[in-house]
Amino acid sequence: EPEVTQTPSHQVTQMGQEVILRCVPISNHLYFYWYRQILGQKVEFLVSFYNNEISEKSEIFDDQFSVERPDGSNFTLKIRSTKLEDSAMYFCASSETRALARLPYNEQFFGPGTRLTVL
Amino acid sequence: AQSVSQHNHHVILSEAASLELGCNYSYGGTVNLFWYVQYPGQHLQLLLKYFSGDPLVKGIKGFEAEFIKSKFSFNLRKPSVQWSDTAEYFCAVFNYGGSQGNLIFGKGTKLSVKP
């Protein structure tokens, strides 16, 4: 069964360093998402991406964050200068189509997450 | 803005006990609701979803949820839990804002089932 994969599973970095989190979505999926979960808190939406462009982003997704689809398979989240408060589990998700107001929602499939620890 | 509340942070049950996990959402319009499960060390997986129609939704592994519009609730139930149901459970609502939409999650409820 196809699945979303993420690497690395755990990343430890020093404050101020750049990190790149990698995701390989399911191969025929066109819509991609990043979510994060700070320990003990909710899973929060960061950004959605389609056709090589950001579709939507939350207020968490500030100028320190960027996303890219550098090739046909990877989808990356870059944090330019990490802060302590960026420590969280980051989940990538993909879906085959987007949800339309009158159609059934198309399921988002999640990866296992990357645990980012900023020291 | 939509929000999702899960009131139980950690639930501990013995095997064969019945389970009900609460979920309340804030949005008053048409909603699509979901329950996801995350087993230790594994992906978030979809347990069940509600779009419209029968408010009692059956999911995988014997789980079901009931959408009660008047109570803004979508509680998850299972009549008899097993040790293998130990996991974290997340309620979510789909936010149709913008062109693509996204999921809004609750904080999650950790379920521990004692053998």
For residue B10, the chain A residue with the least C-alpha distance is A40
Looking at residue A103, its pLDDT comes to 52
Beta-strand runs (E) in A2-86: 5-7, 10-13, 19-24, 31-37, 43-50, 53-57, 65-68, 75-79
For residue B39, the chain A residue with the least C-alpha distance is A112
Residue A88 confidence (pLDDT) above 90: yes
**Residue from B93, B101, B88, B59 nearest B74 by CA:** B93
Looking at residue A102, its pLDDT comes to 46
Q: In what order do the strands lie in the sheet with A19-24?
A: A5-7, A19-24, A75-79, A65-68
The pLDDT tens digits of the residues spanning B13-41 come to: 999 999 999 999 987 677 889 999 988 87
Binning chain A into helix, strand and coil, the percentages to the nearest 5 are 5, 50, 50
The pLDDT tens digits of the residues spanning A94-116 come to: 988 765 544 555 788 899 999 99
**Residue from B43, B84, B42 nearest B63 by CA:** B84
- Is B101–A48 a contact, with Cβ atoms under 8 angstroms apart? yes
Q: Are B103 and A108 in contact, with CB atoms under 8 Å apart?
A: yes
Q: Are A4 and A47 in contact, with CB atoms under 8 Å apart?
A: no
What is the rounded CA–CA span in Å between residue A88 and residue A61? 14
Residue among B44, B100, B105 minimizing CB distance to A55: B100
The pLDDT tens digits of the residues spanning A36-59 come to: 999 878 899 999 998 899 988 999
**Residue from A60, A91, A64, A52 nearest B88 by CA:** A91
Tokens for B2, please give them.
């939509």
Bridge partners (DSSP) of residue A98 are none
Residue A28 confidence (pLDDT) above 90: no
What is the rounded CA–CA span in Å between residue B47 and residue B65? 10
Q: What's the full length of chain A, in residues?
A: 119
- Is A43–B105 a contact, with Cβ atoms under 8 angstroms apart? yes
Whether B100 contacts chain A with CB within 8 A = yes
Bridge partners (DSSP) of residue A68 are A76
Q: Are B35 and B90 in contact, with CB atoms under 8 Å apart?
A: yes
Chain B CB contacts of A31 under 8 Å are: 100
Mutating which of A1, A29, A42 best tests the B interface, going by the most B Cβ atoms within 10 A?
A42
Whether A111 contacts chain B with CB within 8 A = yes
Across the 115 residues of chain B, what is the mean pLDDT of every consecutive 10-residue run?
A: 88 97 85 90 87 91 94 96 96 78 90 95
Whether A80 contacts chain B with CB within 8 A = no
Residue among A42, A99, A111 minimizing CB distance to B96: A99
